[in-house]
Structure 1
């Protein structure tokens, strides 16, 4: 008897016990004029490193020592920013989501910021390989006076290799609460022939990459106008910016992943008022 060429979802080639399951938990607190890392927990091959900064902020770089994620892998990230703290969290590189045998790759992120905290969640893009299945969830809880910048970006296939995301699954969920009140909820689901779905004008217009940027804090109107001016100067990225429920929401799509990244770097510099972490340019 010959084994089937593609294993059934309930009979994986790699047992569940061998899948990566872990994450990172961080807590930042303000001490005097600086923000310090007060708690760090790492598990399952996921690590965090803390480059030197030259202002009052504390920067954390998340690292996946496995070099990517496949079906059945699970990563959990928890970040807490204490009162008056200023924390920036990013990733060492783009996260590669490899082909799945049928199980989802799960990335769960929970962010919390206390009164007066300034928290920036700036991971680099997730690159979906053909046949991948990504289930990504972002939960954010903010105090009334906290400030937030958060972005998530996705690349559909390895464009440099001429690859398109012919089949796969993407489920992306955002839930943002401020002082316990839900202020932003967003769900995206692409299932099956993703490349065909993205080719539809009302969905992606052939997009190779997409991103969502969210800002909560002061001067939203000024940032919105500046972002619209930047977008007007780059016709290789289609996007829009608007204020909804005291949140500045920016949507971006592009036929070229590198163009999306270039514009996203400019927009993040605008809303954070600082240069991006060095890993974005390495």
Structure 2
């Protein structure tokens, strides 16, 4: 039987402390709240005990951050979409930030196994004064294990309501997309880092944020093709391509650290769970 799992995570303010309340159905769990940066920033780890999604499985995560809260959400391992012979496996994430809230969505990578049929969607709503710092790192196949992405399909969607919409189909049969210079150029790992605001940035702040993230990027296209831009005055996007997860994730984490410091004046110390 396919899994149908739901997790609702709600950040609330209690004095100077951000507290997390949650409820779940099916195989999705939340670790205890941690406060390595003090009571104002609540760190949480979402756990999916089965370890991956097969055909027909659905994971639905909803996160709400009330006014003035700051949450950081990660995972202890990769999200794995395994081979499917029928129905797609689906992960849906809905995030809502109230005025002045901050949320960091920084899971480990998503792996599309050869033969998978997968859908991965992330929808975000930002109120005035709220900011969202997040990434998505996706690996197609497992080239290090001799399992190329030679069949299968992954649908990706990222929507920041009113400010940004990106969706596409990564099909193993689409050689133009996967191998051409105007596509992935033969790379099989792609990373996206996003900082988005419910209130438009001034030109000065936009340029300061871009300078901060560009300072960590390599010169030219080696060793990794990467670039950062602001498509509008609410959104900053960093793109990275690479042959494997590790170098892409390392650069995305450096960008996260730089933006965290430039946007919020907070240290960019890596989250402990990433090193476990």
What TM-score results when the alignment is normalised by the length of structure 2? 0.89
Quote the offset at 1:196 in angstroms: 6.7
CA contact (8 A) 1:268 1:276 kept: no
Which aligned runs of 4 or more in structure 1 are off by greater than 3 angstroms? Answer: 194-197, 217-220
SS at match of 1:237: coil
Quote the offset at 1:154 in angstroms: 0.3
CA contact (8 A) 1:137 1:174 kept: yes
Q: Deviations over 1:72-96 (max 9, x none)?
A: 1100000000000000111111111
- Which residue number in structure 2 is paired with residue 225 of structure 1? 211
Aligned residues: 260
User: How many angstroms apart in 2 are the aligned matches of 1:64 and 1:196?
Assistant: 34
CA contact (8 A) 1:166 1:196 kept: no
- Which residue number in structure 1 is paired with residue 270 of structure 2? 276
User: Based on CA coordinates, which of the two structures has the bigger radius of gyration?
Assistant: 1
SS at match of 2:164: strand
Q: Deviations over 1:14-40 (max 9, x none)?
A: xxxx11111210000111111011x31
User: How many angstroms apart in 2 are the aligned matches of 1:156 and 1:94?
Assistant: 13
SS at match of 2:269: coil
- Which residue number in structure 2 is paired with residue 27 of structure 1? 10
Quote the offset at 1:51 in angstroms: 4.3
User: How many angstroms apart in 2 are the aligned matches of 1:138 and 1:50?
Assistant: 24
User: How many angstroms apart in 2 are the aligned matches of 1:281 and 1:59?
Assistant: 15
- Which residue number in structure 2 is paired with residue 168 of structure 1? 152
Is 1:267–2:255 an aligned residue pair?
Answer: yes
What TM-score results when the alignment is normalised by the length of structure 1? 0.87
SS at match of 1:232: coil
Quote the offset at 1:132 in angstroms: 0.7
User: How many angstroms apart in 1 are the aligned matches of 2:7 and 2:175?
Assistant: 33
User: How many angstroms apart in 1 are the aligned matches of 2:177 and 2:195?
Assistant: 29
Q: Deviations over 1:205-233 (max 9, x none)?
A: 01120011110246332221122221125
Instruction: In structure 1, list runs of 5 or more residues that go unmatched.
Output: 1-17
Quote the offset at 1:235 in angstroms: 2.2
CA contact (8 A) 1:236 1:255 kept: no
User: How many angstroms apart in 1 are the aligned matches of 2:174 and 2:77?
Assistant: 24
* Structural RMSD (CA): 1.6
- Which residue number in structure 1 is paired with residue 264 of structure 2? none
Is 1:209–2:189 an aligned residue pair?
Answer: yes
SS at match of 1:259: helix
User: How many angstroms apart in 2 are the aligned matches of 1:272 and 1:49?
Assistant: 23
SS at match of 2:100: coil
Instruction: In structure 2, list runs of 5 or more residues that go unmatched.
Output: 262-267
Change (3 A) 1:176 1:32: same
